[in-house]
Amino acid sequence: MIVNKELIKKVAATAKLELTEQELEEFIPQFEEILKTFSKLAKADTKNVLPSFHPVPLKNRMRDDTIHSSLSQEQALSLTEHKKDGYFKGPKVV
Amino acid sequence: MNINTTQQQLEKINEEYHYFNKLCNVQTKKTGKLKDYVISVKDALCVKDVETKGGSAILEGYKPLFNATVIEKLLAEGATIIGKTSQDAFGFGTFSTNVGNNMQIPLNPFDKNHSTGGSSGGAAGFTQLAKKKGIKHIALGESTGGSIAAPASFCGVYGLTPTYSLVSRYGLLDYANSLDKIGPIAASVKELAMCLSIIAGHDEKDATSSKTSIPDYEKGLSKPIKGMKIAVIKECFGKGIDPAIKQNILETIETLKKQGATIEEISLPTTTEYALEAYYILAMCEASTNLAKYCGIRYGRHEKLEGNFNQYFSKVRSHGFNKEEKRRILLGTFARMSGYRDAYYIKAAKVRTLIIQEYKKAFEKYDILISPTMPMVAPTFDEIKRLTPLQHYMVDLMTVGPSLAGLPHISCPTGFKDNMPIGTMFIADHFQEEKLLQIASSIEELNHG
């Protein structure tokens, strides 16, 4: 597994993180070491084994489609600095 | 406050030891099982109108509009919530040294140069100190890969991580949804049992919450352990473990034998070989998706609204997350990316199946498995600084197995090395918390006997 600046920059862009040059330099050897260790899993024989996404079996649990109380619009907007006319205000999309 | 402590006393303790990110005084009812107790809450749990950051600067100033289900249950029993305990940001750490930007690292109550362990570090540290000062207190911790057991061990207190799904996670800041468990840390086993009886049980607000019936956990405490079948996990005594800890666990085993338990040895080769890697891949993958929601729009840290959405979100996240948060988001994002997903994420989930099967097979024969909680006693901060991130992750060797399999486990104080506490960990099958509390209770009797 080759870890270089380009790979880390690509992952960082996907994860919406800006890294400093210093962070990039620091992460390269660390990621190499960690990913090399993670690659050890390739040795495990998982032929015909299904993945477990939970430790205990879970069934889909459906709720009745009924009206419940919820936060008011005012409450929902009370924690943001960015709001206008009763809505959240976000950054430019286009 | 109807309690034998004061806000000033807590402030003084906090100045010295940094156990709380925020102090508060919330009580909604004066009657109930917890009316004489103060309860500290790990910062990752939402308490209405009290700043809740999960130890991360990205949530600076966030005051939830609701209580976590566990908080509602404690308040209904007359508890007084006294504060949000310090932790590694989002639980990303074993030593509580990865606290968010501008936050303070909790110090071990036995020696301030040592770590409390993590990530529920403030919770365990304060539990020990409260015991020394005669304060009736129980802490609510949270564990993803060992974050209750590790600090309980390093601070010489009892920590119970319940079966995954036994306690509602509603109102918990998620680290990894398939691994997170809320559980108590206390100075006595009776208090653990009392707290678990209150917080366990089905909750419609958590889709993963179990409908299993909840026993009265306090009732079974006095049951003798005679006839209990216990197995010692052989591989836990391999290289990397402090010989003093090994010796202590062997002595603990001898005392259990004297009480009539049968002790054998068991080998868990798949867990030993692969649990750490499988755990970290799954935990980081889940964390990277969970932390995607923190982008400075609805709550938490905000910045001036400028630039396009990519620029704005990246700015907020780059300023709000510390280095370990960034590292885990990046590794988790990588392991889920097209081209790598099957080799890392899916492979880890398949290995998890093998690990669950290995434990389940062990519990066909045994009631309890034993290992040390941690391979070392609480290290000094200088020692921690010298660890690489990978070495840091390796410390969780004993606790990631039961975490991946969602198994309940308890860390009990069983001795000291150079005045720093040693913890022994007991693991049981799913929903067998009664057996864990029973064996912990017998250990406690020995400690006090």
Q: Tell me the HSE value of B294 on the side-chain side, using a 13 A CA sphere.
A: 30
Say whether A82 and B297 touch across the interface (CB within 8 A). yes
CB B32 within 8 Å of CB B95: no
Nearest CA to A46 among B275, B347, B446, B435? Answer: B347
Cβ-Cβ contacts under 8 Å, A4 against chain B: none
What does the alpha-carbon distance between residue A91 and residue A93 come to, in Å, rounded to a whole number? 6
Q: pLDDT tens across B426-438, in order?
A: 999 999 999 999 9
Euclidean distance between CA atoms B216 and B193, whole angstroms: 8
CB B263 within 8 A of CB B253: yes
Q: Do B350 and A75 touch (CB under 8 A)?
A: no
> How far is it, in rounded angstroms, from Cα B417 to Cα B415?
7
Positions of B annotated as catalytic residues are 42, 119, 147
**Predicted local confidence at residue B1, as pLDDT:** 46
Which residues of chain B lie closer than 8 angstroms to A83, CB-CB? none
**Exposed, middle or buried: residue B338 (CB in 10 Å: 0-12, 13-18, 19+)?**
exposed
Q: Is A84 in CB contact (< 8 Å) with chain B? A: no
Confidence tier at B2 by pLDDT (50, 70, 90): very low
CB contact under 8 A, A55 and B314: no
Contact B25, B7 (CB under 8 A): yes
What are the tens digits of pLDDT across the range B15-38? 999 999 999 999 999 999 999 999
Residues B363-399 pLDDT 10s: 999 999 999 999 999 999 999 999 988 888 889 999 9
Give the confidence band of B449 by pLDDT, cuts at 50, 70, 90.
Answer: low
For residue B429, what is the nearest residue in chain A, using CA coordinates?
A56
CA distance B427 to B411: 9
Q: Tell me the three state secondary structure of residue B220.
A: helix
Cβ–Cβ pairs < 8 A, chains A and B: 167
User: What is the arithmetic mean of pLDDT over B320-337?
Assistant: 96
Spatial distance between the Cα atoms of B378 and B372, rounded to a whole number of angstroms: 13
Residues A73, A86 contacting (CB under 8 angstroms)? yes
Closest residue in B to A23 (Cα) is B323
Strand order in the sheet with B420-428: B20-26, B80-85, B38-42, B137-143, B181-186, B158-161, B409-417, B420-428, B368-372, B229-233, B262-266
Judge whether B83 and B130 are in contact, CB under 8 Å: no
* B6 band by pLDDT with thresholds 50, 70 and 90: confident
At B236-293, the pLDDT tens digits run 888 789 999 999 999 999 999 999 999 999 999 999 999 999 999 999 999 999 999 9
Residue B4 above 60 pLDDT?
no
DSSP 8-state class, residue A83: E
Q: Does A62 touch chain B (CB under 8 A)?
A: no
pLDDT in tens, A40-87: 999 999 999 999 999 998 877 788 899 988 999 999 999 999 999 999
A chain contacts of residue B202, beta-carbon cutoff 8 Å: none
Instruction: Render pLDDT for B86-95 as a digit per residue (tens, 0 to 9).
Output: 999 999 999 9
Identity (one letter) of the amino acid at B104?
A: Q
- Residues B163-167, mean pLDDT to the nearest whole number: 98
Position B286 scores a pLDDT of 98
- Are B301 and B59 in contact by the 8 Å Cβ rule? The answer is yes
Distance from CA of A2 to the nearest CA of B (A): 13
Q: Which of A35, A63, A93 sits opposite B309 (nearest CB)?
A: A93
Residue B233, pLDDT > 80, answer yes
Cβ distance B313 to A16 less than 8 Å, yes or no, reads yes
Q: Of A1, A25, A36, A38, which to mutate for an interface test with B (greatest number of B Cβ within 10 Å)?
A: A38
Instruction: List the Cα angle B108/B438/B262 in 5-degree steps.
Output: 105
Contacts of B313 in chain A (CB under 8 A): 16, 91
Cβ B423 vs Cβ B414: under 8 Å: yes
Tell me if B21 sits within 8 A of B41, measured CB to CB: no
d(CA B283, CA B302): 27
Q: Is the dihedral of CA B425, B430, B435, B437 positive or negative?
A: positive
ipTM of the complex: 0.95
CB contact under 8 A, A19 and B318: yes
Residue in A17, A40, A79 closest to B329 by CB: A17
Q: Which chain B residues are Cβ-neighbours of A61 within 8 angstroms?
A: 207
Contacts of B352 in chain A (CB under 8 A): 51-52, 55
